[in-house]
Amino acid sequence: MTQPRDRWHEMNQTCDRCGPAVRAIYRVRRNGELYLCRHCANQLWPALSAQGWTIWLIDEYALAPQAT
C-alpha cells in the first residue's frame, strides 16, 4: 500500500513532455517511468501500449490499456 508521503509526492508530479507548468495525471511504467498529462497520454497511448508500457492513473492502481 502507498504511504501517505509517497501519495503526496505522486500527486504533485508534472508532465515530462510539457514541463513543470502542467500537472501529470498518468504514470507510465516499463523499464523506466514517465509522468504524462491527459493530452500527452492520449497522443502516446497506442504507441506506449504497443511497446508494453503500463499506463496508470496516478490516483488509481492500474489500468490495462490496449492499443486500438
List, for residues 7-20, the tens digit of each pLDDT value.
Answer: 444 457 999 999 99
**Helices marked H in 3-60:** 4-11, 38-50
DSSP three-state, residue 15: strand
**Cell numbers representing residue 3 in the block:** 504511504
Residue with cell 513532455: 17
Q: Would you list the domain boundaries of the chain?
A: 4-57
∠ CA 29-48-11 to the nearest 5 degrees? 45
Is residue 5 pLDDT above 60, yes or no?
no
Rounded mean pLDDT, 14-39: 94
pLDDT of residue 12: 75
Rounded mean pLDDT, 31-48: 95
DSSP three-state, residue 20: strand
